[in-house]
Amino acid sequence: MSTAFEIDADSIVEPGFYAATVQSVSRLSPNLVRVVFGGSSLRYYAGLDAPDECVTIHFPSSVEATLPPMTLVGGTWGYHDVATRPECRNYTVRTRDDSTVTVDFVLHETGVASSWARSVQPGHSVVLSRPRSWYCCPENTDWQVLVADQTGLPAVARALETRRPGLRTHVILEVLDGADVQELAVDSDVTVEWRIGTGNGLTPSVLPDAVASFDRPDGVGYLWFAGEARSSRLVRSHVRKQWGFTTRQCSVIGYWREKAEEWLASYRRYEAMALAGYRRALREGKTEAQAQEEFEALLERVGL
Ligand SMILES: Cc1cc2nc3c(=O)[nH]c(=O)nc-3n(C[C@H](O)[C@H](O)[C@H](O)COP(=O)(O)OP(=O)(O)OC[C@H]3O[C@@H](n4cnc5c(N)ncnc54)[C@H](O)[C@@H]3O)c2cc1C
């Protein structure tokens, strides 16, 4: 049975989905646009405390358009009709309050989300869903290193604002332009290293090398990484093999993928096998991080 449900940009949509109307758009820097979302539905948004809280944003087919109706299939609301299913992408919640959610979009050459952010205006609407997070710095950590390209800048900024007092923190951020450098919440326990003009789809990222040459302090450490997927694999491999970090001591997330279209075409051939391996690992009692490592290892073996 399938029931249509009209999305009213200013009302509550189905559980887990939040209609969001653009309240303001501002250009933060050459490659970043800040969008503040509002609307009565966001009063019910159940966010997460983690600094890398992210939401899936469902985009209409053009900025002015509204999203197609959601349907209820097998007891679950969603965009089940593949013919009209909207494109969706993951974005970090930079800040939020009782009725707004703020997101910083990187502007890159092509892409549904980037193009939307380039031309969006107040009054346009999207739907948010699935708040999730990965940052999980264990209580007994003495120091952490936060590493990201421009896509991870919102999460790093939030991590510094919510940092446990006394937690020594080193930050490595790679941005395209000197003007993309932001003022961050730092004190004497925080050091920040900006890498300017590399990575971010322009050149190979310097982040894997920066992690490899990071002079680790004594004590128990934690690493959080967000950036291009291939760089994330190099970083994960380094901290697991060279630093001897356990999966609990690192959260390494590929936020986007260079030449995503080409990669996806090849991935389709191995998707079923890779996902089956991931689910098997979870059934065997492995953690999500361990299952993810096995998934990545399989893709690496087939050249992806
Ligand atoms: C948990 C999580 C949180 C994220 N938070 C943020 C955030 O706060 N801000 C943010 O801007 N992004 C964030 N991202 C990354 C964002 O989801 C991706 O960059 C996404 O692919 C952009 O979608 P698109 O439709 O613009 O481009 P796509 O349609 O996905 O890709 C189109 C083309 O652009 C390229 N491309 C995609 N992203 C980039 C990029 N960043 N730089 C250069 N080339 C790119 C692809 O290789 C592809 O060739 C996050 C990702 C995750 C997983």
Residue 176 is classified by DSSP as: S
State the distance from the centre of ligand 1 to the C-alpha of 81, rounded, in angstroms: 24
Kindly report the protein residue whose alpha carbon is nearest to atom 19 of ligand 1: 256
Q: What is the pTM of this model?
A: 0.92
State the distance from the centre of ligand 1 to the C-alpha of 1, rounded, in angstroms: 35
Which whole-number Å values give the CA distances from 14 to 46, 62, 77, 104, in the listed order? 13, 22, 7, 25
What residue spans define the domains of the chain? 4-132, 143-256, 260-301
* CATH classification code of 4-132: 2.40.30.10
pLDDT, one tens digit per residue, over 56-80 is 999 999 999 999 888 889 888 899 9
Q: How far is the CA of 255 from the centre of ligand 1 (A)?
A: 7
What CATH number was assigned to the domain covering residues 143-256? Answer: 3.40.50.80
Which of the four pLDDT bands, split at 50, 70 and 90, describes residue 2?
very low
Of the two residues 300 and 105, the one the predictor is more confident about is 105
Residue 60 Cα to ligand 1 middle (Å): 17
8 Å CB contact between 157 and 181: no
Longest CA–CA separation in the chain, Å = 60
Name the residue of 48, 151, 202 to mutate for ligand 1: max ligand atoms within 8 A of Cβ: 151
List the one residue out of 77, 135, 214 whose CA is nearest residue 68: 77
**CA 230 to each of CA 65, 136, 235, 236, 257: distance values in angstroms, whole numbers, following the listed order:** 35, 22, 9, 10, 7
Whole-number average pLDDT of the chain: 93
Question: What pLDDT is attached to residue 20?
Answer: 96
**Percentage of the residues of the chain whose pLDDT score is greater than 70:** 96
Position in ligand 1 atom list of the atom nearest CA 114: 26
